[in-house]
Structure 1
Amino acid sequence: MATKCAAAAADLATGRPRKRARLGWDVAPAAQAQIGTFCGQEVGDVASLLLSANPSNHTCSSLLPKGVARNASPPWREDDKDGHYVFAVGENLTSRYKIYRKMGEGTFGQVLECWDRESREMVAIKVVRSVKKYSDAAMIEIDVLQKLARNDVAGKHCVQIRNWFDYRSHICIVCEKLGPSLYDFLRKTGYRPFPIDLVRQIGEQLLESVAFMHRLQLIHTDLKPENILLVSSDYVKLPDPKDGSFSRKLPKSSAIKLIDFGSAAYHHQDRSYIVSTRHYRAPEVILGHGWSYPCDIWSVGCILVELCSGETLFQTHENLEHLAMMERVLGPLPRHMLERADQHAEKYVRRGRLNWPEGATTRESIRAVLKLPRLQNLVMQHVDHSAGDFIDLLKRLLAYEPSARLTAEEALSHGFFSRYGDRRSL
C-alpha cells in the first residue's frame, strides 16, 4: 500500500536516478521537538526512549505534560489535510498503547512504534488515513492477515497481526515489530551486494513464504525488498576484502518475513488490473494479459538479482523501455505474447515484435537499455561459486511465459537450494 515519495532533487537533475525514488520509510527522523508540537508527518525519533529494550512506565510517563494521567487519551485534534492522524510522541493510542516514534509513512497512512502495556512489548501500528478507500483496503488487509495467522501457527512466514481497532475514525492494525526491510539494509550499507550464501538463505525463505500464500490461494502482488523485513535488527561486521578493515555489515540472522498485504488478491478475484511495483512487474501485467500466481514468481526473480548485485534489475518508469530492458537482459519476448497485447499495450508492438528502439522517447532511454548486460554476465560479475545453479534458477523464475515459470514449490527443489545445507545465520 505504501507508495513512493518524491525523488531527491539530485535524482531529478540527472533524470535517471541510480536507485528508485525514496520511500517514506527512508526519510530520516526529524530533530527532537517539544511535546505538543508534532504532527503525524513531522514527528521525529525520540532516541532516548529506545535505549531500553523494556521501557518502564516511568520512562513513558515522563513524556507527558504534568497533570495528564498516564493512560489518558490525548486531546481531540483535527486530522491533517490529507486525513493523516495527528499525534505527539508520548501520547496514548487508546489506553493500551504508548507512542514512541514514527517508523514510516505512505499514502495509506503512518506506521508508529508503540509500547503495548498489556503484552509488555514493542509493536508496530499501522494508522490508516481517515479516507474511505484506504479504510476499505485496510479491512481487506486485516482479513488477509488473520487468515495468514490462522494457517501459520509458528508465525515464520508473514508478519503477525496482534490486534486491530478503530480509533477516532482511523483503522489501526497492530503487528509484531520486526527489523529493517531488505531495501533499507541495502541502502544503509551503500547498496553493497549480499554474499551468494545469504542470497540463498533469504531466497529459500522468500519462496517458502510465497508457496505458503499460494497454497491459501492468495497472491501477494507487491513483492519487493521494501516488503521483506529482517526479523532482527542485529548485524555483524566482517572484513572488507578491499582494505581488510571490519567495515562490511551483514545481517546477523537471515530470518525474514513478508509484510504489506494491502494489495493481496485471492485467486478467484478479478485479475485484469495493474499490479506490482514497476521494477518487479511481470511482462504479462504490462501487456495486459491478466495475471495469477506467476506474477509473484517473476518478482522473486527480480529481487534475487537485486540482492546479489545491489542494483535494481529493471530501473525504469516507462512500459516500452521496461519491455526493452527485459529483452536486453533475457532475450526476445515471444511473438505470441506481443500479439496478444491489450488495447493499452498494443502501441508497444509493431509487426509482431517490440517497437524498439523506434518507439523510444529519448536517446537517453536507448542508452539505458544498451548498457544492461545479459543475465548470465550480470550474475557472473558478482557470484563466484554456485553461479551456474543460480543463473539456471533465475532463468526459470524469469521465464516470459507465465505457465513456463517455476512454481514456488518447484523452485524450492532447485539445485541452487538442494545442493547446499540450510544455514539461517552467518
Structure 2
Amino acid sequence: GIIHVHEEHLCLVFEAMHQNLRQALRQHGHRRGIQIDAVRTYARHLLSALRLADRCGIIHADVKPDNMVVNDTYSTLKLCDLGSAMDADEAEITPLLQSRFYRAPEVMLGLPYGTKVDVWSAACTIFELYTGKFLFSGNSNNAMLRLQQEVRGKVPARLVRKAAFAAEHFSASGDFLAADKDRVTGCDIVREVKFGADPLPGRDIKAQVFAAGGGSSRLSDAEQRKALLLADLLDKLLTIDPARRLSAAAALKHGFIATKP
C-alpha cells in the first residue's frame, strides 16, 4: 500500500521478506553461483517486475542484488528500494545514475536513456547469479566502459558522436581513451585502445557462462542447452546500443525464460 506522510512524501510499504539477494548469494552461491534453474526463476521474477515498471513509465535506476528480496523458501524474488526511481520522461543526463558495476553504457556516455538501463542492470545481476562473479567491476566510468567493450565490442561510432561525455572517453578519431596509472611513477596516463566489433578472445558472454559451469565437457547435453540459452539471453540484454537491446517484455518470451525446468 501507499501511505501519505509529511509534505506529500509517499512511503511504500512492502510485505516482509526473508533476506536480500546479495545475502542469499553469499550464503548459497558465494563465488560459484546458483543452479541454472534457480537463475531462470529469479530472472523471470525480476524481468516481470521490470516489465511492469516499463509499462508504468518508471525507471528503477538501481537494479542490483542488494535491492531484491527473496522469501524464506527462496522461491520468490521481488524488486524493492525505489529510492532512486523516476519517471522515464523526466530522466536527466548524469554519469552517476545506477550503482557503478550495474551502470548501463548509455548513462556513462551521456546519452538519453530510458527503462532499458534497468534491463542492462538486470543482465549483470543474472550473470552474477549464475557465475557468482561480477561481470563488470571497474573503479570508474572509464574503467567500466573499457571492460564493457572487452566483453561486448566497441561502442558504435554513431553513439559516440551523440554522447555528451564522449570527449572524456574517446579520441577525435573514435578510439577509446583508457585512463590508467603509470606503474613506475604512479602518474595518471591516458592511452588509446582500439577495440573491434567483437569481444576480446575468451571474454565473450558464452565463454564466461560455460567457464562458470566448468566447461562444456563437464555439462550434460541438457545443461549445455540451458547454458546456451542463458548466454544468448544475456547477449541480447547486454547490447551496448539500447535501441537494439531487448526490453523486459521481450526477454520474458526468450527461450531461456520460457523453457520449463
| Change in CA separation of 1:420 and 1:318 when aligned onto 2, cut-off 3 Å | same
Distance of 1:401 and 1:387 partners within structure 2: 24
Alignment of 1:381-400 (within 5 A): 381-383=211-213, 384=219, 385=223, 386-400=226-240
Equivalent residues of 1:193, 1:308 under 8 A apart: yes
Letter in 1 for 2:180: A
Alignment match of 1:308 (pick from 101, 111, 130):
130
- Find 1:337's aligned residue among 143, 159, 162: 159
- Pairs within 5 Å for 1:8-47: none
Provide the aligned length of Structure 1 versus Structure 2: 233
- State the partner residue of 1:185: 24
| Corresponding residue number in structure 1 for 2:15 | 176
Q: How does 1:258-297 map to 2 (within 5 A)?
A: 258-273=79-94, 274-297=96-119
Higher-helix-fraction structure:
2
Q: Which residue of 1 aligns with 2:206?
A: 376
Structure 2: how far apart are the matches of 1:173 and 1:418? 31
- Deviation digits for residues 183-233 of structure 1, max 9, x if unmatched? 11122343431111100000011001100111111111110000010022x
SS in 2 for 1:176: coil
Give the SS at the match of 2:69.
Answer: strand
Q: State the shift of 1:257 in Å.
A: 0.9
Supply the distance in 2 between the matched residues of 1:349 and 1:268 (Cα, whole angstroms): 28
Partners of 1:306 and 1:371 in 2: CA distance:
20
Answer 1 or 2: higher relative contact order, Cα 8 Å, separation at least 6: 2
Tell me the SS of whatever aligns to 1:360: strand
Asked if 1 retains the 8 angstrom alpha-carbon contact of 2:160 and 2:174, the reply is yes
What TM-score, normalized by structure 1, do the two folds share? 0.51
Distance 1:172 1:293, change over 3 A: closer
CA drift at 1:316: 1.6
Give the deviation of 1:290 after TM superposition: 2.2
Aligned to 1:409: 249
**Percent identical residues:** 31
| 1-structure distance, mates of 2:234, 2:112 | 22
User: Any gaps of 5 or more consecutive residues in structure 1?
Assistant: 1-144, 147-162, 233-251, 422-426
Where does structure 1 differ by over 4 angstroms across 4 or more consecutive aligned residues?
A: 163-166, 170-174, 362-366
CA shift at 1:269, angstroms?
A: 1.0
The one of 181, 192, 208 equivalent to 1:361 is 181
Counterparts in 2 of 1:361 and 1:338: CA distance versus 1, 3 Å:
farther
Q: Unaligned stretches of 5+ in structure 2?
A: 192-199, 214-218
